[in-house]
Amino acid sequence: MHTPRREKATIVAVGMFLACLGLFSQHSLAADSAQVVDGSSVTVLYHITFPSEAGFEIKDVGQFVQGKHQLLPALEREVTGMKTGEEKKVELSAEEGFGPYDVKKQKTVPKSDLPAGTKEGDVLKDHDGQPATVTQLSDSSAVMDYNHPLAGKSLVVKLKILKVENPS
């Protein structure tokens, strides 16, 4: 048998429980609606395709801190203001991506300077730690290309913001 006092206590307890749920759901909604701003820690799903190379694509999840120049500047501008769950397609010219291809960044070196077994397409680091791709090999020399592998290529980047954590 319920007493009026017990019913009142139950109503108060249920009310407090529902109020707490409301607070938590509002907190969750606020977190979900956080916008990407400088200092935000952002988790993003990205899918990169190359209009000039059908069938070649990169798809991965990445994390970055907005404003720390961990992304291409054009992409950093594009994600500013995006929210969790939001998607965007960005087309980047070679200049906005990894820059134009520069033939001056090719260097011919003696083949004897390379490790044994080096093949065309291998990526090696020079004595300064700079990566270079072996683009040509002959009996006596090799051409090393210091351009970024994506230099000179237009990119299409599809982004989906998975998580935004703003600094407090």
Which of these ranges, 11-15, 104-108, 109-113, 144-148, has the smallest mean pLDDT? Answer: 11-15
Q: Give the residue extent of every domain in the chain.
A: 1-32, 36-95+153-168, 103-145
**Cβ–Cβ < 8 Å for 95, 102:** no
As a whole number, the mean pLDDT across the chain is 84
pLDDT-derived band of residue 1, with 50, 70 and 90 as boundaries?
A: very low
How confident is the model over 29-51, as pLDDT tens digits?
Answer: 444 578 999 999 999 999 999 98
Whole-prediction pTM: 0.66
Residue 26 has pLDDT above 70, yes or no: no
Mean pLDDT across 11-17: 39
How confident is the model over 88-137, as pLDDT tens digits?
Answer: 999 999 999 999 999 999 999 999 999 999 999 999 998 899 999 999 99
Fold topology of 36-95+153-168: Chitinase A; domain 3 (3.10.50)
Mean pLDDT across 12-24: 38
